[in-house]
Structure 1
Amino acid sequence: MEQLVKRQKYIIDVTSSTAQEFVLDGKHKEAIPAALHALRFATEVYGSNSVQLVPAYLLLAEASAGVGRLPQASKYLSQAQWIVLRTPDCSVALQCKLHRSLGLFCAAEGDFEQALYHLANDAVQAQEQSLSSRLEMSPFAEEKEVSEDLMTEAQQAEATQVLSAVLASREQAPKQQPGETARVLHALAMLYYLTLDLSKAREVGVKAFDLVKQLPQHESLETIGHLLKLINAKLPCVK
């Protein structure tokens, strides 16, 4: 049995890497069979509700979207999201991958604001991990080691400019849509958090939080509240 499980895990690795290579090469149709095999063997080894299945679901979603099968891609993403939500100790890296996949899927559907939301969440979680590493590092370590993955100043300026323009257009629109405005504010707050401009992040985050509280459905209230907690926690220790 041990040898069988080892062989199955080896097959999972091979089929997953093969599917990933096909996806990177733009051969989405060829990636689907390999990803399906990875999912099948992962289910046999880990069970149908294991977080170990999420990478295979994300590969299947990306490959399905690549061949235009958006409804099927949506089903795979929903399954991956359901597993992650049921796994409290799910790794930050896997949560980032899920948000990235959801963001790319929303962009493929033309839902660019939802895409922005998920991609921004992906960036926030990656930055949170980076900041945690920074705070835990030896004071003798070089700053370069922890800053390689952070956004450049040009990227920060461009992102801020774009989001500010989107916010201005939302706030000046003849027909106000508070929910959409709150989403932009939320994204802008996350961007300021990423760039360590914590005072602005808190200011914009509070505006988003207050706006969402006025809506009939508080879908993102908990998420924005979590972001504000992160910001408040970092304010005393980040200069």
Structure 2
Amino acid sequence: MEQLLRRQKHIIDVAYSTAQELVWAGKHEEARPAALHALRFSIEVYGPDSLQLVPAYLLLAEASAGAGHLPEASKYLSQAEWLILRAPDCSAAVQYKLHRSLGLFCAAKGDLERALYHLANDVTSTWHSFLLKSLRAQQQVLKSRPETSLFTEDRAPREEPMTEAQQVEGIRVLSAILDIREQAPTQQPGETARVLHALAMLHYLLMDIPKAQELGLKAFELVKQLPQQELLEPLGHLLKLMNVEPSSPE
């Protein structure tokens, strides 16, 4: 029985990882069978009412929505939400994943107001703070080793480098929020600038400098028009790191 349980958990891991990689690659229809296998074995191992099923339900919902099967995606999201609501001790990380999935689903349906509710400002703030710390950590490394630069192969890694999953997550979530912010009937330029800044930092850390420059300049120009300009200094610093001289605020 122990060997069987280990094998089943291994199958869950393989099926989930395969489905996740296919979703990241935009192959949503191909991801659905693998995600479904992950769910079926999760039910068999953990039972139908376990929080351990939530990741598989959310992955199935994302794959289904990406493949255009919105009713199915809605069903899987409802199952995940029900499991979370029944667990008062559910972790913040699991709740974040649910709201992230609900937000992306609502965005896919064109329901921007509900999408913003689920992808609320604190999601943006969490990523913004995390990326600011990552950028500062990288700069500390470069200062301590002046012979290195962002592009040298032997540069020291950041203390807590982002995993591939975090990189994909950040780009997908922040890009979705930016699209929603820019399409919303009621514009909030301060929040839009914060998302742009976060995305610019993320692309800089991933060494996609042209994209980071484009987003950083766009954020800088937006912040210059705001009465509160607390983002000007960190944005200006980021642009200077990329050898871009922003124009002075009026």
Q: CA deviation at 1:94?
A: 1.1
CA-to-partner distance for each residue in 1:2-43, whole Å, 9 max, x for gaps?
A: 111111111111100000000000000110010010001100
Partner of 2:21: 21
SS at match of 2:81: helix
SS at match of 1:90: coil
The number of residue pairs the alignment matches comes to 158
Superposition map of 1:27-176 within 5 A? 27-120=27-120, 123=123, 126=126
Q: CA deviation at 1:145?
A: 8.1
Partner of 2:225: none
Counterpart amino acid of 1:114?
Answer: R
SS at match of 1:49: coil
Superposition map of 1:209-228 within 5 A? none
Gaps of 5+ in 1: 131-141, 169-183, 192-239
Cα distance in 2, alignment partners of residues 8 and 99 from structure 1: 29
CA-to-partner distance for each residue in 1:37-64, whole Å, 9 max, x for gaps?
A: 0001100110001000010001110110
Cα distance in 1, alignment partners of residues 121 and 3 from structure 2: 40
TM normalised by structure 2 equals 0.52
Cα distance in 1, alignment partners of residues 185 and 63 from structure 2: 31
CA-to-partner distance for each residue in 1:72-128, whole Å, 9 max, x for gaps?
A: 00000000000011111111111111101000000111100000000117618958x
User: Cα gap change, 1:12/1:92 in structure 2, threshold over 3 Å: closer, same or farther?
Assistant: same
CA-to-partner distance for each residue in 1:126-166, whole Å, 9 max, x for gaps?
A: 58x98xxxxxxxxxxx9x989x99x9xxx9xx98xx69x95
Task: Report which of the two has the higher share of helix.
Answer: 1
* Paired residues of 1:96 and 1:122 also in contact (CA < 8 A): no
CA-to-partner distance for each residue in 1:147-194, whole Å, 9 max, x for gaps?
A: x99x9xxx9xx98xx69x9558xxxxxxxxxxxxxxx9xxx8xx9xxx
Counterpart amino acid of 1:103?
Answer: G
Question: Over aligned residues, Cα RMSD in angstroms?
Answer: 3.8
Counterpart amino acid of 1:80?
Answer: A
Cα distance in 2, alignment partners of residues 51 and 64 from structure 1: 20
Cα distance in 2, alignment partners of residues 115 and 21 from structure 1: 24
* Paired residues of 1:29 and 1:63 also in contact (CA < 8 A): yes
TM normalised by structure 1 equals 0.54
* Paired residues of 1:96 and 1:125 also in contact (CA < 8 A): no
Cα distance in 1, alignment partners of residues 6 and 36 from structure 2: 19
User: Cα gap change, 1:123/1:8 in structure 2, threshold over 3 Å: closer, same or farther?
Assistant: same
User: Cα gap change, 1:125/1:48 in structure 2, threshold over 3 Å: closer, same or farther?
Assistant: farther
Partner of 1:180: none
